[in-house]
């Protein structure tokens, strides 16, 4: 399948989504991954994880005219060695996704709705958020909560963030797509963020752009 979605947002961010249907050999050809990283990928025991890494590279090739070199800071935050654009990356077994912005920090997260998110309720939600859960779409709602908090966390790029206490998502009802409001609270200040999400092919994708 390859490139599943590529769109420019009103806030000048760009999102790309790649559906992984290729073999590992096909992804290797499409990704043009540098030899040093190919060596690193070769040590990954899981074929699925190797394919996810290669699919990220293939997706980046479709989003940039020039070849870009992906690296990571010590805290895991990705960056491009030869391009100052802000980037966030996420992946599942079937999809990888990237968000880019020339000036603002960004965050993105994707999850499969076939996963059981019941553990998220205990470790990542506040009491108010738990009270807002609906039985009918509970797992989907938990998935959106988790992706939203992960996206904010990636944008902030801070250590030791308590998802339940510090990242609050305003009440929402799950739909095919929508907007979310989040507040991050630290001992110094409060920051508010507007997020967007879409659901497709039993997956939920959430992204956020800083202001």
Nearest-angstrom CA–CA distance, 77 and 88: 8
CB 35 within 8 A of CB 81: no
The average confidence (pLDDT) of the chain is 93
- pLDDT higher than 80, residue 187: yes
Average pLDDT over residues 66-94: 92
Residue ranges of E strands in the chain: 2-8, 14-19, 70-72, 78-80, 86-91, 95-101, 106-112, 167-169, 177-185, 190-200, 203-209
pLDDT of 184 above 80 = yes
1 has pLDDT over 70: no
Q: Give helix 24-31 / helix 47-63 axis angle, nearest 10°.
A: 30
The pLDDT of residue 37: 82
pLDDT mean over 140-151:
97
The domain segmentation of the chain, as residue ranges, is 2-104, 110-209
- Say if residue 38's pLDDT is above 90: no
What pLDDT shows up at residue 33?
81
Query: To the nearest whole percent, how much of the chain has pLDDT over 70?
Result: 100
User: Which backbone phi and psi does 131 adopt, to 5 degrees?
Assistant: -65, -25
Residue 159 has pLDDT above 90, yes or no: no
CATH architecture for segment(s) 2-104: Alpha-Beta Complex (3.90)
Distances (CA, A) of 17 to 1, 58, 62, 102: 11, 11, 10, 18
Q: Are 185 and 171 in contact (CB under 8 A)?
A: no
Residues contacting residue 72 through CB under 8 Å, at least 6 positions apart: 78, 79
């Amino acid at each position: 399948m390859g490139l599943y979605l590529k769109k420019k947002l009103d806030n000048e961010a760009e999102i790309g989504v790649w559906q992984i249907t290729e073999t590992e050999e096909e992804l290797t050809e499409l990704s043009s991954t540098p030899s040093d990283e190919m060596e690193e990928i070769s040590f990954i025991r899981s074929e699925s994880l190797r394919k996810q890494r290669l699919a990220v590279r293939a997706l980046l090739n479709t989003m940039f005219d020039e070849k870009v070199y992906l690296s990571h800071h010590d805290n895991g935050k990705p960056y491009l060695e030869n391009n100052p654009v802000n980037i966030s990356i996420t992946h599942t077994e079937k999809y990888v996704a990237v968000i880019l912005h020339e000036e603002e920090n960004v965050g993105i997260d994707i999850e499969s709705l076939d996963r059981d998110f019941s553990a998220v309720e205990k470790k990542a939600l506040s009491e108010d958020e738990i009270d807002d859960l609906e039985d009918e779409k509970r797992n989907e709602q938990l998935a959106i909560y988790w992706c939203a908090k992960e996206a904010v966390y990636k944008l902030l790029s801070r250590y030791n963030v308590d998802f339940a206490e510090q990242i609050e998502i305003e009440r929402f009802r799950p739909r095919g797509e929508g907007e979310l409001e989040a507040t991050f609270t630290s001992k110094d200040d409060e920051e508010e963020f507007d997020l967007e999400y879409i659901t497709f092919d039993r997956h939920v994708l959430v992204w956020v752009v800083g202001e």
